[in-house]
Amino acid sequence: KMAEKQEPSNAQNGEPDNAEEGEDKKKKKVKREDLPPFEIVTGERLPAIFFKFQFRNVEYSSGRNKTFLCYVLETQGKESATSRGYLEDEHAAAHAEIAFFNTILPKCDSSSRYNITWYVSSSPCVACADRITETLRKNKNLRLTIMVGRLFMWEEPEMQAALKKMKAAGCKLRIMKPQDFEYVWQNFVEQEEGQEAKAFVPWEDIQENFQYYEEKLAEIL
């Protein structure tokens, strides 16, 4: 959201020109504070600059405080269908994983089967992992595969326990290989209009970082 412009005032010491104006400003301030700190963003393709920064499978993810979740949802039932898109969040309130269940798949139809694949910039936090585990246990007709670029706080015992519970509930957790990053680039990243799609250019340490996280995940699970 764009920052609100401040209107000039003749008041001194930050005080309003009159009491009535002061009350109005107080009400507006309360209303602004009641709003959520961010909005879940959804769409079909994410900007290339976001992908190159947020999905990079570095060991130390400084500054990468968002979760980007690209999904493929296959519904098999009376009307089979496939949909895809992405969600992004900030680590402040409802995360992208929970937003997926609340907005993209708010209600599982027991007469249908769902095959879901997520390509996520980092693995779920403890709260999201618990929600995934709970959802899979309640909905036996749902199959979920999560491909992650990085492992989030994987050294924490609580995080390791949460990932193990996800696996026990039937979730397939995998580290993204270079080919998976290329798949996301081709299917979920915006390409410039009027130009040929640019080929995916892997970063220098993409294979080494994949192997590093793959070993850590194998140790945890």
All domains of the chain, ordered by start, with CATH?
Answer: 41-220 (3.40.140.10)
Average pLDDT estimate for 169-194: 88
Candidates 33, 97, 193, 219; catalytic one: 97
Q: What is the CA radius of gyration of the chain?
A: 21
Task: Convert the pLDDT of each residue in 138-153 to its tens digit.
Answer: 999 999 999 999 998 8
Tokens representing 8?
A: 């000039």
Task: Convert the pLDDT of each residue in 74-90 to its tens digit.
Answer: 998 777 889 889 887 75
Q: Tell me the pLDDT band of 13, cut-offs 50, 70 and 90.
A: very low
Residue 213 has pLDDT above 90, yes or no: yes
Residue 166 has pLDDT above 90, yes or no: yes
pTM of structure:
0.74
* Mean of pLDDT over the chain: 77
CB 95 within 8 A of CB 38: no
Describe the strand order of the beta sheet including 172-175 as a list of residue ranges.
Answer: 41-43, 81-90, 66-76, 113-122, 142-150, 172-175
Helices marked H in the chain — which ranges? 19-34, 48-54, 96-99, 126-138, 157-168, 178-188, 206-220
Asked if 97 is an active-site residue, the reply is yes
Residue 62 has pLDDT above 90, yes or no: no
* 169 Cβ neighbours under 8 A, 6+ residues apart: 132, 133, 136, 137
